[in-house]
């Protein structure tokens, strides 16, 4: 019997790099994602096909190991290994993978692929994980099998998305709540055309700097301190700025939840501008191209806020805009970006979407 599973990508609205600091994040599942369609093979072979790439492994040879080539398949195979290690009855299958997510844009195609794989396996082989356990298993696969020390944000966003609602994740308590999005506003994603690569060393370096700051401050995680305390602490300048970004983002998330609940989209947009400026100055995970997109957005009527989304170091921005003005705003951003940077960008109007299904 053929099965199909779909998992969406996500945009991070506020809470940049707070997840591994036991902080809080606001994100949203978007209406683009990854679909896996396939069936059990009746044996031990796993055959994966994506666009013009194919990978086959044999479970009879033992648990999957990371591939040195066709590394895109490691996101799937890591989930398969995690399920097998947890005792779930995964066997051979064939599957085709298709995506409507732009690659390298920082919209969490990796987590969407992991979550879709897990849900596909559950339905194909007749077992079920709770939504949070599904997200955790996929995170663990990316940490251990792929080797990226990501937090739980991306997987939770793909699992817990809801129509017209943001996702509020408390990374310490591991609780998830949906927060309604105000009427009259839409999200516009702009791909800078500079590829985002999460496995780069910058991510793990920033993570280590955050942990160093927490150690000097004498707290378990940066969640347990404030921006004022960071400013007063005897920290190296670079480490101080990294910590200020995280504490500031946590403070912005709590404020952002209040603003969403009262329908104050314009106020929420102001937090997005502030978030990007902190990424640019304090965390230094922006790029010239992302900064140009935010600067351009700031000059266009109908845009209330804009910031990089995701890990940074390339990828995309997300902007909060007036509903119904996406075409005009997109056209103006694209024209000015070519003039300013010399390369083209792509824009995507995004609906806040249901999670994996």
154 carries an active-site annotation? yes
CB 185 within 8 A of CB 265: yes
CB 223 within 8 A of CB 135: no
- The string of DSSP codes covering 189-230 is EEE-SS---TTSHHHHHHHHHHHHHHHHHT-SSGGGS-HHHH
Using CA atoms, how far apart are residues 298 and 190, in angstroms rounded to an integer? Answer: 14
CB crowding 159-182: b at 16 or more within 10 Å, else e = bbbbeebbbbbebeeeebebbebb
- The string of DSSP codes covering 29-80 is EEEEEEEEEEEE-SSSEEEEEETTEEEEEEGGG-S----SSSGGGHHHHHHH
Side-by-side strand order, sheet with 303-309: 303-309, 316-322, 185-191, 346-350
What the block records as the tokens of 252 is 């912005």
The residue annotated as part of the active site, out of 154, 183, 237, 322, is 154
Angle at 193 between CA 190 and CA 196, to 5 degrees: 95
Catalytic residues: 154
């Amino acid at each position: 019997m053929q099965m199909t599973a779909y998992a969406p990508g996500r945009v991070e609205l506020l809470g940049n790099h707070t997840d591994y600091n036991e902080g809080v994040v606001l994100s949203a599942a978007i209406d683009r994602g990854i679909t896996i369609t396939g069936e059990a093979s009746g044996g031990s072979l796993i055959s994966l096909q994506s666009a013009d790439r194919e990978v086959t492994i044999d479970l009879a040879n033992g648990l999957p190991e990371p591939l040195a080539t066709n590394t895109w398949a490691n996101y799937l195979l890591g989930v398969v290994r995690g399920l097998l290690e947890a005792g779930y009855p995964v066997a051979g299958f064939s599957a085709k993978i298709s995506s409507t997510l732009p690659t390298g844009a920082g919209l969490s195609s990796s987590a969407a692929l992991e979550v879709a794989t897990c849900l596909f396996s559950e339905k194909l082989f007749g077992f079920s994980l709770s939504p949070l356990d599904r997200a955790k298993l996929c995170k663990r696969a990316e940490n251990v099998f792929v080797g990226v020390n990501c937090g739980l944000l991306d997987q939770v966003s793909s699992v817990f998305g809801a129509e017209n609602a943001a996702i509020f994740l408390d990374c310490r308590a591991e609780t998830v709540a949906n927060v309604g999005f105000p009427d009259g506003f839409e999200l516009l994603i702009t791909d800078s055309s500079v590829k985002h690569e999460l496995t780069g060393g910058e991510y793990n370096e920033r993570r280590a700097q955050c942990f160093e700051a927490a150690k000097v401050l004498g707290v378990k995680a940066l969640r347990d301190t404030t921006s004022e305390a960071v400013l007063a602490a005897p920290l190296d300048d670079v480490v101080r700025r990294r910590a200020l970004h995280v504490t500031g983002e946590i403070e912005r998330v709590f404020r952002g939840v209040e603003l969403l609940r009262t329908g104050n989209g314009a106020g929420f947009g102001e937090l997005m501008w502030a978030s990007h400026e902190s990424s640019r100055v304090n965390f230094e995970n922006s790029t010239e191209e992302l900064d140009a997109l935010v600067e351009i957005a700031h000059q266009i009527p109908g845009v209330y806020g804009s910031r990089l989304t995701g890990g940074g170091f390339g990828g995309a921005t997300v902007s909060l805009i007036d509903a119904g003005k996406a075409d005009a705003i997109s056209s103006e951003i694209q024209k000015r970006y070519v003039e300013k940077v010399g390369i083209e960008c792509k824009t995507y109007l995004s609906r806040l979407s249901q999670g994996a299904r």
